[in-house]
């Protein structure tokens, strides 16, 4: 399988596209999907599950078209021999954690890969060699994430209805297994202070919050109506938890929750006309590591919401097979999206400078909970701002092209 890099000069700030050398014989045929794309924590590598059990590991920024076709020395092909559902680089070093408490600087960069047979393969990025194989899941591993404290703690979510916590620093150590959901666990996310795991299940109309310190269940975030849960992600300070869900007849929803108080803060939803299109399912979302930008995508478009200013700053149409995943570059400015036909697109993200008051809010909220903020002797408007209670309660998004 080869690699083709097209430098694009199309509308909507599409800057590059990766195409598998052997496209599927039939549009939509199984096995060719790009279910996951990831940038390394330092932004120097890009991993792409290009279908048919192959993961491509590329240096970033991408090489020119000629170099890519020739196969540069920084390009590695990992043959996993199983459908790849999830990718995660580690250790992941958070900019919000004190350098004295980060213990990942001496670890080599790893890439964890979740497979259809329940196995997790961990590869060494520098050499492209398989380091260890983790077994225990009895069904496909749908999501992987390293804790953002610089350690080698890996969290996996699986269709076997469990979340597992692996310590890769301890060879042969058994994982902690979190049980409780009655349905497949599709996605998981870890709070920036590495204290909470959020997980969502496909047919369960609630979100599970787990303590990463005691490995116990904490609480549910519960919905009133039946829906399919799709994805979740914590904001940069951990004060917001974004959840995407959809229903085949009523459209999709993107909700922002306060994970401390279990309050629903605001909702973004599909417009009434688009909601009746069964192909319009919200598949992925991701908070930007820079500013308060939230990217979310359905099968038709990628949208980026500036939560602080309450406006859409990007609204792009894929114009090909539906997109299923997205990932921000850790330095901001670029977002990658993966499609059902194995393609990857790179989009330019507007570079917005966060306000000084928002930077102050992030610094404060990373360290203290909503309850602690509410106890401070501050004016009401400042408390509302610090707890994100100033965000408009509802926003409706439509794709005008499909609503005509």
- Going from the C-alpha of 169 to that of each of 122, 216, 251, 330, the distances in angstroms are 12, 22, 43, 24
Of the candidate ranges 176-190, 262-276, 281-295, 323-337, the one whose mean pLDDT is the lowest: 262-276
Distance in angstroms (rounded) separating the CA atoms of residues 266 and 254: 8
Query: What average pLDDT does the segment 116-141 reach?
Result: 96
Which of 354 and 58 is assigned the larger pLDDT? 58
- The residues, ordered by sequence, that sit 6+ positions from 252 with a Cβ below 8 Å of its Cβ are 230, 244, 245, 246, 269, 270, 275, 280, 281, 282, 298
H/E element, 65: helix 65-70
pLDDT at 404: 40
pLDDT at 107: 80
Distance in angstroms (rounded) separating the CA atoms of residues 259 and 179: 20
pLDDT at 6: 39
pLDDT at 29: 58
pLDDT at 151: 94
Q: How many helices (H) and strands (E) does the chain have?
A: 5, 30
pLDDT at 97: 55
Query: What average pLDDT does the segment 248-259 reach?
Result: 87
Which residue's structure tokens are 């549009």? 27
pLDDT at 3: 39
Which of 236 and 273 is assigned the larger pLDDT? 236
Strand ranges inside 307-378, DSSP E: 311-317, 323-328, 334-339, 344-348
- Going from the C-alpha of 116 to that of each of 111, 139, 141, 359, the distances in angstroms are 17, 7, 6, 41
pLDDT at 233: 97
Which of 317 and 103 is assigned the larger pLDDT? 317
Of the candidate ranges 217-221, 328-332, 348-352, the one whose mean pLDDT is the lowest: 348-352
Kindly report, residue by residue over 308-324, the tens digit of the pLDDT: 888 888 766 655 556 78
Query: What average pLDDT does the segment 249-261 reach?
Result: 89
pLDDT-based confidence at 148, cuts 50/70/90? very high
Query: What average pLDDT does the segment 110-132 reach?
Result: 97
Kindly report, residue by residue over 174-227, the tens digit of the pLDDT: 999 999 888 999 999 999 999 999 999 988 888 999 999 999 999 999 887 778
pLDDT at 226: 78
Looking at residue 67, the DSSP 8-state letter turns out to be: H
pLDDT-based confidence at 290, cuts 50/70/90? confident
Q: DSSP assignment of 370-392, as one string?
A: HHHHHTS---HHHHHHHTTTTS-
pLDDT-based confidence at 31, cuts 50/70/90? confident
| pTM for this prediction | 0.89
pLDDT at 235 over 80: yes
Of the candidate ranges 147-161, 173-187, 319-333, the one whose mean pLDDT is the lowest: 319-333
Distance in angstroms (rounded) separating the CA atoms of residues 100 and 90: 18
Q: What angle do CA 363, 382, 267 make, to 5 degrees?
A: 80
Kindly report, residue by residue over 65-97, the tens digit of the pLDDT: 533 443 455 789 999 999 999 999 999 876 655
Kindly report, residue by residue over 377-402, the tens digit of the pLDDT: 999 999 999 999 998 877 666 544 44
Which residue's structure tokens are 């599950």? 49
pLDDT at 269: 82
3-state DSSP call for residue 128?
Answer: coil
Range with the largest mean pLDDT of 102-116, 120-134, 343-357: 120-134
pLDDT at 64: 60
| Mean pLDDT score of the chain | 84
**Residue 27 CB coordination number (10 Å):** 11
Q: 63-90: b or e for each residue (b if 16 or more CB lie within 10 Å)?
A: beeeebeeeeeebbebebebbbbbbbbb
Of the candidate ranges 143-147, 181-185, 226-230, 354-358, the one whose mean pLDDT is the lowest: 226-230
Range with the largest mean pLDDT of 176-190, 283-297, 310-324, 351-365: 176-190
Whole-number percent of the chain with pLDDT over 90 = 57
Can you give the residue ranges of every domain in the chain? Answer: 14-22+31-64+71-94+106-402
14-22+31-64+71-94+106-402 topology per CATH: Methylamine Dehydrogenase; Chain H (2.130.10)
């Amino acid at each position: 399988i080869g690699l083709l890099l097209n430098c694009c000069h199309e509308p909507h700030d599409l800057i590059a596209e990766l195409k598998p050398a052997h496209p599927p014989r039939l549009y939509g045929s199984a096995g060719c999907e790009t279910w996951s794309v990831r940038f390394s924590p330092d932004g120097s590598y890009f991993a792409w599950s290009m279908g048919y059990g192959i993961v491509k590991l590329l240096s970033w920024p991408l090489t020119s078209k000629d170099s890519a076709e020739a196969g540069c020395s920084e390009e590695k092909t990992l043959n996993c021999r199983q459908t790849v559902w999830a990718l995660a680089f580690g250790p992941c070093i958070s900019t919000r954690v004190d350098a004295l408490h980060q213990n990942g600087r001496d670890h080599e960069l790893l890439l964890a890969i979740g497979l259809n047979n329940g196995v997790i393969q961990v590869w060494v990025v520098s050499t492209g060699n398989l380091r260890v194989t983790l077994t225990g899941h009895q069904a496909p591993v749908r999501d992987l994430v390293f804790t953002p404290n610089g350690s080698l703690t890996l969290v996996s979510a699986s269709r076997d209805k469990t979340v597992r916590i692996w310590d890769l620093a301890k060879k042969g150590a058994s994982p902690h297994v979190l049980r409780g959901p009655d349905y497949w666990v599709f996605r998981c996310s870890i709070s920036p202070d590495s204290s909470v795991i959020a997980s969502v299940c496909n047919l369960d109309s609630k979100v599970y919050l787990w303590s990463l310190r005691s490995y116990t269940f904490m609480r549910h975030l519960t919905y009133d109506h039946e829906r399919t849960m799709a994805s979740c992600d914590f904001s940069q300070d951990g004060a917001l938890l974004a959840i995407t869900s959809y229903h085949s007849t009523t459209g999709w929803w993107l909700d922002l929750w306060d994970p401390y108080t279990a309050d629903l803060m605001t909702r973004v939803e599909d417009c009434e006309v688009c909601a009746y299109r069964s192909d319009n399912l919200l598949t992925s979302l991701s908070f930007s590591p820079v500013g308060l930008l939230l990217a979310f995508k359905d099968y038709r478009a990628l949208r980026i919401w500036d939560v602080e200013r309450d406006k859409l700053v990007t609204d792009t149409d894929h114009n090909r097979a539906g997109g299923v995943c997205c990932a921000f570059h850790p330095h901001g400015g670029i977002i990658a999206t993966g499609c059902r036909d194995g393609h990857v697109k790179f989009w330019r993200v507007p570079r917005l400078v966060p306000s000084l008051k928002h930077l102050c809010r992030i610094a404060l909220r990373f360290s203290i909970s909503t309850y602690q903020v509410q106890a401070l002797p501050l004016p009401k408007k400042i408390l509302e701002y610090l707890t994100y209670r100033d965000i408009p309660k509802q926003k409706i998004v439509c794709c005008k092209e499909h609503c005509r």
